[in-house]
Amino acid sequence: MINFALLKSTAKSNWVIFVIFFAILLMYMSVMLSMYDPDNIEAMRQMMETMPEGIMDAFGYGGSPTDLITFMAIYYYGFIILMFPMIYCIILANRLVASHVDKGSMAYLLSTPNTRVKVITTQAVYMAFSVTMLLVINTAAGTAVSELMFPGEMDIPAFLLLNLVTILLTLSISSICFFFSCIFNEAKFALAFGAGIPILFFIINMLRNIGDRFEWLQFLTLYSLFNPEDIVTGEQEALVIICLVFAAIALLLYSAGVFIFSRRNLYL
């Protein structure tokens, strides 16, 4: 069900944005790690408390780090690891499907002996694999950099668990982007929904972090299921169920996107 020639061509066409987003994630990872000072963590916490409370909470920086893993969970995984992979998913989903249909280049792909199902399944596999590898490589790089800068300080099992949940969350977000890229003929509509819904989730998550009056918003975004500090401290309730929810959403929407694309009318 996969065309490896198309998969190779797709990877070749999109490797630049993959490298760009990996470089961004690694840069922020390195910057955050360089800011950590195990001897003055209390001073760092007090410095953060001098910042406007609402802004810090909105960006997910309202926790109190006690060690390297909680520091990274709050200041890297609370905002940066949510925003940049989301943007990557939006751009990639549009490039893989909607942009091809909108520009008419999808006609060339479908004029080959490959079926619609094989073409769109190949694009779906590349999207899921690319998103996963972006975060897997970032995890490996983060582990290496943290061990280089602070040998023995990082709780590696907790760090790996945090990244596993991050990957599943991002896959669920990527499936939303891919699904809407599959159901519209025009890229502008695919972006309106495929980008609009994840961005709305992200904004709602920022609002709900501000205070109790917005707590009800947690039911309107997938990001409310992701609490990095609780994950690394073992306080996240029903973590297995949350992971299964993320995986189920990703599988359902990727499959639905393939199914709908293979049967709808295409104006090529």
Q: Cα dist. 122→11, 13, 104, 130, 165 in Å?
A: 11, 14, 18, 12, 25
Q: Answer yes or no: are the C-beta atoms of 35 and 121 closer than 8 Å.
A: no
Average of pLDDT values for 147-176?
96
pLDDT over 90 at 167, yes or no: yes
Strand, helix or coil for residue 77: coil
Q: Who contacts 102 (Cβ-Cβ below 8 Å, separation ≥6)? A: 185, 186, 187
- End-to-end alpha-carbon separation of the chain, Å? 23
User: What residue has token string 């990527």?
Assistant: 174
pLDDT at residue 61, as a whole number: 56
pLDDT in tens, 111-156: 777 788 999 999 999 999 999 999 999 999 999 999 999 999 999 9
CA distance 121 to 1: 7
CA distance 81 to 247: 18
pLDDT in tens, 74-87: 889 988 999 999 99
pLDDT at residue 211, as a whole number: 64
Q: Answer yes or no: are the C-beta atoms of 165 and 79 closer than 8 Å.
A: no
Count CB-CB contacts under 10 A for residue 166: 21
Dihedral (C-alpha) 228, 139, 135, 202: value to the nearest 10 degrees?
20
CA 123, 126, 130, 132 dihedral sign is positive
pLDDT in tens, 33-72: 988 877 766 666 665 655 555 555 555 555 567 789 999 9
Q: What predicted TM-score, i.e. pTM, was given to this entire model? A: 0.91
